[in-house]
Structure 1
């Protein structure tokens, strides 16, 4: 005995140009029937939140699936899976496609070579699937865009819920972020962690989907933008604050990566107001809270 609910969508060509579209969503539980063997032309994320079962890859090898877990179904890859008939399982699934799936795969959010991924918790992923299911109501004019946005959320939730990532994040990435503004080479960062540069590159690629150099550069340039927009520090001082002793090199690097020179960025984004309430840039890890508005007073309705 099992229970199932599902909806399927056919986004228009215009919606496909968003780069990511949702093709379907389902929620089901119990002693579900076996799926496959089959091959699809799109991606499916199957989130198992309770129970256990098995997954069989194209080479015939079977992997035990124990909740919470994720099953990745990728285009062109044969697969075969199902719950244990004695226990069944609770699952939700989302079918999706689009050009940006290539980028999500490159960044490590989608893992074609790892079809079964243990999760630490399925709650946030199920919440994203629930948003898709709610958007699937009949006659919703925002269906395609609303469900596409929720697929982005789902991919982030699944990435964060991987069991091989600590609740507080990857300690290597945390340490790199703390030391990002020090003038250290990748080899020196690696040595601080007792790693070779190759091992550090592998760890950062797995955790952040990019190289250590790009990871550090993103943190440095983000802080530089904040200082340029919210202070009157000279560009040379900004460069030193984010780890560059050569302001000319910093300016060239900033211009190449951001697309505009530091001075021009300041002209466009500057927020310095004489006599304002703050003369310092808030700590990104401890942002100020906006003052809550007063209670909303409803206008009396016309009778």
Structure 2
């Protein structure tokens, strides 16, 4: 005996141009039947919350699946899997497609060569799938856009839940972020961590989906944008603050990667206000609030307020 709920969708061309579309979502539990061998033309993420089973590669080798775990079903790749016949498992699945899958694969969020991925906790991904299931009512006019946006969120949640990676980056990534604006080369950063440049590249690629150079550059340019938008520091001083001694090189690099020159960015994004700029992230649960405006005293008060009060009572309904 098993229990299944699923919905499938047919997004239009405009939805596909948003980057990702959800083609289906489902929730199942129990001793589910064997799936495959089969080949799909789209991606599927199968999130297993409890239970266990197996996954078979095209050459017949079986991998044990123990919850919490993720099964990646990728286009054109044969797959064959099933829960344990005695215990079954609890799964949520999402079918999706779109041009953004190529970028997510390049960044390491989708892993075609790693069909079985252990998770540290399935709560986050299953929460996203549950929201997609609630959005899947047939009378929802936002269905395709809402579920498509949730696929992006699901990929992030799955990346955070991977058992082999820290949710917010490992110690090497945290140290690189902390020291990103120091005038250090990639080789210098590697040496500070007792690693070779190749080892650092592997660690950063695995954790952040990019090269150390791009990782550091993204942090430096983000910091530069903040300084340009929120302070009146000269561009040369901004360059030095983010690790570049040559302001001309910084300006060329900024223009090439951002698409606009530093001066132009400041002219369009500047938001400096009296009181200065804070580098502290606000607490969303306790945001700063504008004090309630106090009414200025009436320069010509009514000398007989009791008369006005009696008049008000007479005209009130």
TM over 0.5: yes
Q: Structure 1 regions of 5+ residues with no counterpart? A: 295-303
Aligned to 1:55: 55
Spell out the pairing of 1:219-258 with structure 2 (5 A cutoff). Answer: 219-258=219-258
Spell out the pairing of 1:1-303 with structure 2 (5 A cutoff). Answer: 1-273=1-273, 276=274, 278-283=275-280, 286-287=281-282, 290-291=287-288
- What's the CA shift for 1:8? 0.4
Q: Distance in 1 between matches of 2:107 and 2:138?
A: 35
Tell me, what secondary structure is at the counterpart of 2:90? Answer: strand
Tell me, what secondary structure is at the counterpart of 1:32? Answer: coil
* Contact 2:43/2:97 (<8 A) preserved: yes
Q: Deviations over 1:163-194 (max 9, x none)?
A: 01124521111010011011111111111111
* Contact 2:160/2:168 (<8 A) preserved: no
* Contact 2:181/2:243 (<8 A) preserved: yes
Question: Greater Rg, structure 1 or structure 2?
Answer: 2
Q: Deviations over 1:78-124 (max 9, x none)?
A: 00000011110000000000011000000000000000000000011
Q: Distance in 2 between matches of 1:257 and 1:47?
A: 37
Aligned to 1:301: none
* Contact 2:160/2:166 (<8 A) preserved: no
Q: Structure 2 regions of 5+ residues with no counterpart? A: 292-317
Structure 1 residues 242 and 291: alpha-carbon distance in aligned structure 2, compared to 1, 3 A threshold: same
Q: Distance in 1 between matches of 2:151 and 2:168?
A: 23
Aligned to 2:298: none
Question: How many residue pairs are counted as aligned between the two chains?
Answer: 290
Instruction: State the Cα RMSD in Å.
Output: 1.5
Q: Distance in 2 between matches of 1:241 and 1:224?
A: 8
* Contact 2:54/2:64 (<8 A) preserved: yes
